Chains A and B, each alone.
Chain A
């Protein structure tokens, strides 16, 4: 057995395929991304070293800061939208009743659809010509509210946030449902024996025991929101007039629309550092809070 465990040939041959693929298409590109960030390069001619110029330019570009703000907005909307909605749904569905399984299945459907499908579906629903939203508003006498939802700078970002909530609330519901099911039944039984009311059970047993899961979900929201790209790219491409620009769409436009590969790589690095920073900050903040509670 010991001999078997130290079979060098098998260890080497067994790890090699995964390692080669992973280094070639994940690790190496990350390092290259760090290098390209210091170069000016249109993808064709020789790259020229420009030091920190790309980074200075990013930090002075109001469009980038606007996109960062939009990312923060999505983080906020996710934390204060998806998590509470998911929590409420989970609490309501945690006790089996006729139809509870069906509700759960329905709320999770958007998670299995491609984000492109979700984006195109909602774009059509909100479309001024064929969409139902405007038509519905007209029918109930609120025709004045009908507008070009995605084409209007004032509403585009709100619409995007709404669709994000629609898409992901089901995920948090399922996460919280699993956590509720892990709470030992004995605790609730003891409560019932002591005559504790349903509301007290929820406030003093369920919610405190769910707190660690809520914290984990906050981190998940931050990580997910910092990387969102597909939905906004398909629905608005960052427009109108950069109103819905996110860091990732900004990077995409800079790289593949105007061929500034070096600049795009620098943006990628900034995204990388900002999201790691935020995740870290989130975790530290919540740890401190947990200690004081």
Chain B
């Protein structure tokens, strides 16, 4: 009796919180399939018929297709670069002996504490000097550079505990360090690489501040930046905006649905260490 009472109480307490979380998301979905006239008439009412047209228009006329492709290119290239570069140096840091090893390691780890804002201005000047403004490279390079500390932190601690015997087997076979790295170390690091991939994917897909200062050309904008300008060009097209928000969030939401445990674990670890 007492436990069922407690159980009921738990749901009564959780229900209002759930409404506060679910309602905005449901409203976004509902509004994305209404017409703008319907929204003006009532923002609560259900759509009279499902108006998929908003998605088509957002995708085509509001340039969402361009932003989406740019986001994919930037995210994928940065992830590949981050993974390759950081696992290489993590292998060096984890298994090799040299004089500046600890300094090198600390240099990267300190990077996790640097607030992005404190280098926004000089990085803008740097990119302008390199002629990379309005180029997707400005985003790829800064996302990769900023992703390194976290990636190295995760990968190095993972590789450090590899037993030396595994490497010795490779050495006895006469493999070069690069081959040992490519054929033994990388495949063994798959779980850590997966975490780094998930984290970088989320961070890069969501990033706004760098895109805002580096990119002004319409054809080079990524999703967050494109969304930010959406109402500027499509005045009062709230139905279209909601469709655009959903299009932009679909990849991360799909990943969240399928890899929920890894996403939560990765982001929690990332937050606590960062």
Contacts and interface: CB of A to CB of B under 8 A. Distances in A.
B50 interface: no
Contact of B21 (A10, A21, A107, A130): A107
B161 interface: no
Given A1-B167, A4-B177, A174-B268, A130 B121 contact: no
Nearest to A224: B271
Interface in B222-274: 223-225, 227-228, 230, 236, 238, 241-242, 245, 248-249, 252-253, 255-256, 260, 263-264, 267-268, 271-272, 274
B263 A112 contact: yes
Given A4-B167, A26-B119, A21 B85 contact: yes
Contacts of A220: 271-272
B48 interface: no
Interface in B114-135: 114-126
A211 interface: no
Contact of B43 (A21, A111, A131): A131
B86 interface: yes
Contact of A272 (B25, B118, B177): B118
B132 to A, nearest CB: 10
A234 B205 contact: no
B227 A117 contact: yes
A26 B114 contact: yes
B85 A17 contact: yes
Interface string B139-181: 0011011101000100000000000100110010000011001
Interface of A: 1, 4-8, 10-11, 14-15, 17-19, 21-22, 24-30, 32-33, 36, 43, 89, 92, 97, 99, 103, 105-117, 120-122, 124-125, 127, 129-132, 135-136, 139, 166, 171, 174-175, 178, 216, 220, 223, 226-227, 229-230, 233-234, 247-248, 251-252, 255-256, 261, 264-265, 268-269, 271-272, 275-276
Given A112-B263, A114-B205, A125-B24, 18 more contacts: A1-B167, A8-B98, A17-B85, A22-B145, A30-B114, A32-B126, A33-B119, A106-B21, A116-B228, A117-B245, A129-B236, A131-B43, A132-B27, A136-B44, A227-B115, A230-B224, A233-B212, A234-B228
